[in-house]
Amino acid sequence: MVENKWGILESKKQQKTTKNIDAIIVPAVAVSSTGERLGRGGGHYDRFLAQNKKATRIAVAYACQIRTVLPQE
């Protein structure tokens, strides 16, 4: 394990394969019932999700984080 630029420990070896992923737990500031997600602005999960379109996406959220409409770029 090595410390990344945010001080989080992660594996030294990066996993390049993302095939056969069934589900992804996605962090979010807010989510909509139609699948939009408001993140923290880095775009890391958005790029990963774009590579894994068939995977089920799961966001764990409080009721106050669920919105009808979210801004999209």
Tokens of 48: 């990963």
Helix (H) or strand (E) holding 3: strand 2-3
Please report, for the chain, the start and end positions of each structural domain, with discontinuous segments joined by +.
Answer: 20-63
Burial class (CB in 10 A: 0-12, 13-18, 19+), 31: buried
pLDDT by residue (tens digit) across 7-51?
988 877 766 666 788 999 988 889 988 888 888 777 888 888 888
pLDDT by residue (tens digit) across 50-73?
888 889 989 888 999 999 888 776
Q: Could you tell me if 52 and 45 are in contact, meaning their C-beta atoms sit under 8 angstroms apart? A: no
Q: Please count the other Cβ atoms lying within 10 Å of the Cβ belonging to residue 37.
A: 19
